[in-house]
């Protein structure tokens, strides 16, 4: 063993996938509670990449893979955005030959390698009793696999897309929505000044929550989402009509990056895939903008309407967390540690109907969280619909 266990045990914590505001507060919350009650906390660096890079040798420098967390370290980081542990999209069960750590290349020579046996040995080497992965369904799906292999896993949901199944809320979503609304309202001044149609592209590969909530809050007239393939003529006609009704002669549409034209597919920047098999999305906003401009003459007495095309991208995931993404991660971290104190594992901490809870972690791989089109999206108006807000959760839309 590299580390002699002290006191009550060792907790490992990591962040995987895309960064969001709220990760550092979650790490701080777990660490402060754990240290105060006699546990040791190890921060695994760069997500699952840290679990495969460890050299099980007392003389080896593993500082690139993990670090022991202290009160001073997490206190400084806890108010900031991003993740001080860093992150990656590494999937240990599918490691390309070129990405296999140097010290393992003789052992793993296939084009794609499953390094899970090394992960299990490395976690044992570190003496980790409980593992807390913080991430989206991709990151947490591997956590489920480790749980099935006997690792005591407690998962914390994180993704600005808010699409981890089983929970109404994922860390990062509120800041994303807040920033989207703020930036859309800022861009309105230019759209109105030039009497244009404003097209805003936002994150959202498979779920349209990041487009739906800002639109419902009044940041846009229309939105198009991954769950429904939209007709570009219909969208253009609606936006031209919205523009004519607006005293400042402009209109706004929010486009999810995973949105698809009727009869089309997702738009990618290239054919390269990450470890989880995802191609990099990009360009739907450009295509929508060009198409709307060309088609707008059909609904504007023969004159084309100029477009402002803005991709918000990393602007909504960088920087400090908002109030909700400061409070919820604190609560999630405490929930995770409370489970450890009780000797409970195999759980996902969650928010359900406005109350904190925990559910079986395998919900991550057994279901999907998408917008219920029939309940929440008006396919004729291409915007959110709702009949009543009574007894709805804070962010209105769930997958139940």
The one catalytic residue in 129, 137, 138, 161 is 161
Radius of gyration of the chain (CA): 23
Place of tokens 């460890």: 54
Structural contact between residues 171 and 332, judged by C-beta atoms closer than 8 angstroms? yes
For residue 95, the cross-strand partners are 113
Structural contact between residues 63 and 46, judged by C-beta atoms closer than 8 angstroms? no
**Both tokens of residue 183?**
């930036």
Q: Count other Cβ atoms within 10 Å, centred on residue 70.
A: 13
Structural contact between residues 235 and 345, judged by C-beta atoms closer than 8 angstroms? no
Report which of 262, 288, 267 is spatially closest to residue 279, judged by C-alpha positions.
Answer: 267
Helix (H) or strand (E) run with residue 56 in it: none
Structural contact between residues 135 and 47, judged by C-beta atoms closer than 8 angstroms? yes
Taking the C-alpha atoms of residue 351 and residue 162, their distance in angstroms, rounded to an integer, is: 12
Instruction: Mark 6-23 as b/e (b = at least 16 C-beta within 10 Å).
Output: eeebbbbbbbbbbbbbbb
Q: Calculate the alpha carbon distances from 63 to 118, 134, 350 in Å.
A: 18, 20, 32
161 is catalytic: yes
Structural contact between residues 210 and 162, judged by C-beta atoms closer than 8 angstroms? yes
Taking the C-alpha atoms of residue 327 and residue 321, their distance in angstroms, rounded to an integer, is: 9
Helix (H, G, I), strand (E, B) or coil at 254: strand
Helix (H, G, I), strand (E, B) or coil at 78: coil
Taking the C-alpha atoms of residue 7 and residue 168, their distance in angstroms, rounded to an integer, is: 36
**Both tokens of residue 343?**
């000797």
Which residues are marked as active site?
A: 161
């Amino acid at each position: 063993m590299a580390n002699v266990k002290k006191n009550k045990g060792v907790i490992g914590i990591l962040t995987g996938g895309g960064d969001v505001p709220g990760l550092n507060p979650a790490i701080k919350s777990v660490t402060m509670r754990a240290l105060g009650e006699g546990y040791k906390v190890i921060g695994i660096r760069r997500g699952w990449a840290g679990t495969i890079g460890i050299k099980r040798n007392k003389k080896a420098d593993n500082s690139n893979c993990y670090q022991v967390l202290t009160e001073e370290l997490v206190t400084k980081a806890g108010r900031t955005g991003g993740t001080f542990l860093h992150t990656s999209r590494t999937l240990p069960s599918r490691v390309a030959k070129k990405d296999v750590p140097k010290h393992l290349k003789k052992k793993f020579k296939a084009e794609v390698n499953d390094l899970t046996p090394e992960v299990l040995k490395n976690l044992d080497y570190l003496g980790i009793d409980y593992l807390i992965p913080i991430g989206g369904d991709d990151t947490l799906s591997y956590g489920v696999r480790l749980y099935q292999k006997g690792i005591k896993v407690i998962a914390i949901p994180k993704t600005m897309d808010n699409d981890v199944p089983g929970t109404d809320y994922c860390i990062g979503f509120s800041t994303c929505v807040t920033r989207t609304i703020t930036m859309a309202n800022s861009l309105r001044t230019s759209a109105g000044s030039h009497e244009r149609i404003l097209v805003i592209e936002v994150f959202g590969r498979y779920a349209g929550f990041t487009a739906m909530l800002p639109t419902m809050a009044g940041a846009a007239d229309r939105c198009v989402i991954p769950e429904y393939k939209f007709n570009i003529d219909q969208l253009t006609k609606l936006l031209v009509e919205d523009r004519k009704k607006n005293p400042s002669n402009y209109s706004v549409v929010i486009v999810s990056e995973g949105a698809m034209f009727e009869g089309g597919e997702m738009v990618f920047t290239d054919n390269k895939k990450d470890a989880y098999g995802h191609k990099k999305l990009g360009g739907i906003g450009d295509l929508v903008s060009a198409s709307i401009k060309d088609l707008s003459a059909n609904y504007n007495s023969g004159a084309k309407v100029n477009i402002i095309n803005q991709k918000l991208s990393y602007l909504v995931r960088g920087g400090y967390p908002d109030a909700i993404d400061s409070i919820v991660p604190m609560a999630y971290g405490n929930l995770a540690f409370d489970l450890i104190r009780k000797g409970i594992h195999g759980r996902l901490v969650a928010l359900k109907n406005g109350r904190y809870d925990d559910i079986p972690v395998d919900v991550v791989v057994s279901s999907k969280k998408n917008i219920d089109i029939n309940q929440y999206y008006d396919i004729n108006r291409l915007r959110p619909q709702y009949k009543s807000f009574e007894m709805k959760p804070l962010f209105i839309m769930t997958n139940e």
